[in-house]
Structure 1
Amino acid sequence: MDPSLVPSDEPTVYLVADDFGRAGRAWRETDLETSDLETVIQDLMSGEYRRPIRVIAFNTAERWSEDVSEDVAREIQHRCNLQLSNVPSHLQEFVDRYAGQDLRQFSLRLV
């Protein structure tokens, strides 16, 4: 591929695979302007995704892709801990799968 065809200011894009139950699984369609990490995390926390399976990041200009599900799950758990709130129920399975036991212990509220 001719490197001049790839825009040099291409941002990193984040896509979420979602489970629609009997309807199947799919990579969710997203607007290019709202495929940044912060928007994806906010959309996850607000319930925009039914049952997230994984989050993938890629950057075509830099020619890389990575499964960032663990990082996203840890960030969701961290934000909930800071707010002294539980992980939203629609994200609990995702956070349990990727963040593991090490962060759940911090979600206990002190009285």
Structure 2
Amino acid sequence: MSRSPSIAPHVAADQDVYLVVEEFAGRRAWCETAEEDTGRATLMRDLMDGLYEDPTRIVAFNTTEGWSRDVTVEIADELRRRLVEFDEVAACVLKFVERAARR
């Protein structure tokens, strides 16, 4: 019997991976992301740059350590602390931060 290939990204050993669920016309879907763009720093930059129009959930996992968790509130809290560093903030970021605060 053949084994199915792993769907986990082949990132550097022991690296946390962050994936975004976004709302698209009333449906939620995982956003397609290049393997090298799944780190926390890239995620934060992409969120602040408005790359995601309606992010609803963020999940982090580490296959080497064998864990996964919803980090939506954690990421929203970090964004909230960073908002003062920016002159302009995309409306989608403010909406995400507000929505996460209600969780």
In the superposition, the TM-score normalised over structure 2's length comes to 0.78
Instruction: State the SS of the aligned residue for 1:55.
Output: strand
Q: Give the corresponding residue for 1:44.
A: 47
Count of residues in correspondence between the two structures: 92
Tell me whether 1:14 sits opposite 2:15 in the alignment.
no
Q: What's the C-alpha RMSD, in Å, of the aligned pairs?
A: 2.1
Query: Structure 2, unaligned stretches of length 5 or more?
Result: 1-9
Change (3 A) 1:30 1:84: closer
CA distance in 2, matches of 1:97, 1:27: 18
Runs (4+) off by over 3 Å = 84-87
Unpaired stretches in structure 1, ≥5 consecutive residues:
1-6, 101-111
% identical aligned pairs: 39
Q: Structure 1 length normalisation: TM-score?
A: 0.73
CA–CA separation in structure 1 for the residues paired with 2:75 and 2:88: 16
Larger radius of gyration: 1
